[in-house]
Structures are given as C-alpha cells and as structure tokens.
C-alpha cells in the first residue's frame, strides 16, 4: 500500500482508503474515486501529481485487452490530481484483475 502519488506510470491500482476532510472526500466520491474502485495511472511523477483514469470495476477485462483505450470501461475523462491530493489517496497495485 502506498499513496497514489507514488504509483508508477501505466499501473493499475485499487483505492484502499482516502484520508481527506469531509469536502474533499465527497468531491473525490463524486468524481468516481471511491474505495475499492480501480484506477489506471496514466502519468505520474512519482512521487508527484498524477493523471488518472477511473476504471469501471464491472469491465476491467475489456480495458485489459486494450480494446478500450479511452472511455470504455473507463469512468469519465482523465483527471489531474495535484501532489497534495495524490498523497491523501491510499492505493495498492493490482497485477491480476
């Protein structure tokens, strides 16, 4: 487990917990960043800000097979999370979906 800020480029991670105040916690939920959900780390400056995609847990395999590089099995557009926020999201790397 590690803060999202430390995740490497191109990896798939699962959100374990979010250590944020009420407002931010809610905002992240509204963006689809919810405990248990999968994120693809598009870009990271490890440790630093990250660009992520939220993956639909119901169809991670479609994503895995690279059938859907964009927005298929992906929840919404890409998000840029600043270093501050990336440090508050605790994730674990996922190797097998």
Closest-CA residue to 43 (of 74, 86, 97): 86
Q: Which is nearer to other proteins, 30 or 96 (CB)?
A: 30
Q: Which of 29, 60, 90, 94 binds other proteins (CB under 8 A)?
A: 29
Bridge partners for 49 per DSSP: none
**Binding of other proteins at residue 96 (CB under 8 A)?**
no
Long-range contacts of 26-32 (CB under 8 A, 24+ apart): 28/85, 28/89, 31/76, 31/79, 32/75, 32/76
Q: Which of 1, 19, 61, 76 binds other proteins (CB under 8 A)?
A: 76
State the Cα–Cα distance between residues 21 and 75, nearest whole angstrom. 23
Q: Which of 2, 11, 16, 51 binds other proteins (CB under 8 A)?
A: 51
**Binding of other proteins at residue 16 (CB under 8 A)?**
no
Which residues of this chain interact with other proteins, rule CB under 8 A?
A: 21-27, 29-32, 34, 42-43, 45, 48-49, 51, 56, 58, 67-72, 75-85, 88
């Amino acid at each position: 487990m590690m803060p999202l800020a430390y995740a490497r480029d191109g990896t798939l991670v699962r959100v374990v917990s979010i250590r944020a105040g009420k407002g931010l916690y809610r905002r992240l939920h509204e963006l689809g960043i919810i405990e248990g959900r999968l994120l693809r780390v598009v870009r990271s400056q490890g440790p630093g800000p990250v660009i992520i995609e939220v993956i639909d847990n119901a169809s991670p395999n479609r994503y895995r097979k690279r059938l859907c590089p964009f927005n298929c099995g992906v929840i919404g557009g890409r998000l840029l999370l600043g270093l501050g926020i990336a440090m508050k999201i605790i994730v674990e790397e996922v190797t097998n979906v």
